[in-house]
Amino acid sequence: MLAIVRHWFFNIYRLMEKTLVILKPGCISRGLIGEIISRFEKKGLRLVGIKMRQLDDTILNEHYAHLAEKPFFTRIKNGMMATPVIVCCWEGIDVIRVVHDMAGKTNGRDALPGTIRGDYSMSIQENIVHTSDSQETAIIEIKRFFADAELFDYQLPYLHSLYCSDELD
């Protein structure tokens, strides 16, 4: 019986999306790491990968390639190298949309209270977190920051109280 339940739980996790979150230098320097991670945990998301990393020109040129021609490109890169960052991979049903909504609008002055940026940011650049904005982007970004062996699969014992049964089928 235990083997059947374990098989069911792991099959459920295969149905869920993964997304990338970067806790930016502003989050690190302001001592908000635990607060931000706690918000995602309290929402019911499953943390499947986490590490601290000092970003450099090479990875930032790749990560922000879509902004390379913008006049603020160098400023963004310098800001992202100010301190190490925390990169996280979160998992859940519709996790990309959920995390993106939890982060709020990119400009912290425009983000609604209750969102991460709305509660902790007054800037368009120094806005506490980066989140993937689509399934395609999430896949690319997760591969950029995590090797397969750095992502973990484990059971949340309270999964049945996070989702109704038909969401898990």
What is the set of active-site residues? 130
Give the closest residue to 115 by CA, choosing from 127, 97, 101: 101
Q: Two tokens at 115?
A: 């969102």
HSE-CB of 7 using CA atoms within 13 angstroms: 4
Which residues lie across from 113 on neighbouring strands?
A: 115
Question: What single letter denotes the amino acid at residue 153?
Answer: D
Query: Coil, strand or helix: which one is 168?
Result: coil
Q: Two tokens at 5?
A: 């339940």
Which helix or strand (DSSP H or E) is residue 90 part of?
strand 85-92
What whole-number distance in Å separates Cα of residue 76 and Cα of residue 67?
9
- The answer to whether residues 57 and 131 touch, using CB atoms and an 8 Å cutoff, is no
